[in-house]
Amino acid sequence: MRWPGVAPLFVVLAISGPVACSDAPPSCTTVDTTCQTLYAPTFDNVYNNTLKGKCGSTDGACHSATGRAGGMSFDTEANAYMALSTRVQAGNAACSLMIVRVTGIGQSYQMPPGDPLDNENERCSLIQWVQAGAPGPGQ
C-alpha cells in the first residue's frame, strides 16, 4: 500500500542529510580568567552562593532532587559536585560545559534558562573555580 506524500518526504529527508541542532552549545567559549570574583572561588562558595539558591535547592528549581534537569541534582553539595564532574574540565574554564552555558547569555543554551546570572563577578567566581582545577567540597 502506498500512502500519498510519504515518498517525497523520505526523499527530502534523505537528500538533506542529518539536521544539526543550532541550539547546542559550542565546545568552548572565550572567558576572561583575570576577571574580578564576587566571592572566593572554592566549591563550597560556588555551591552556597550560586548553585544552591539559583539552580537546585528548592523543589521548583531545575536541578533540585525532583527536577533533575539534565540528570543533575544540586540538592546537596556532594550531589552538585558529582553532577558537575562530567561538565567541567578542571583547569580549562573556556571548554567546560558549565562555563559555556553560564556565559552564553541570550543564547538558547544559557543557564540558568531565561534568567542568566546577571553579575559578571559571580560568573567570574565560577570561571576561577574551574580554572583553579575545580577542587571539591572542603578544599
Average pLDDT across each block of 10 residues of the chain; the chain has 139 residues. List them in order. 42 35 82 96 95 70 64 84 93 97 91 84 96 95
With 0.85 as the threshold, say if the pTM is over it.
no
pLDDT for 54 equals 78
pLDDT for 112 equals 84
pLDDT for 67 equals 61
Helices (H) and strands (E) in the chain, counts: 5, 0
* Cell 550531589 -> residue: 79
- Grid coordinates of 2: 502506498
Q: Is 51 helix (H, G, I), strand (E, B) or coil?
A: helix
Q: Is 94 helix (H, G, I), strand (E, B) or coil?
A: helix
Residue 87, CB-side half-sphere exposure with 13 Å CA sphere? 19
pLDDT for 43 equals 97
pLDDT for 60 equals 59
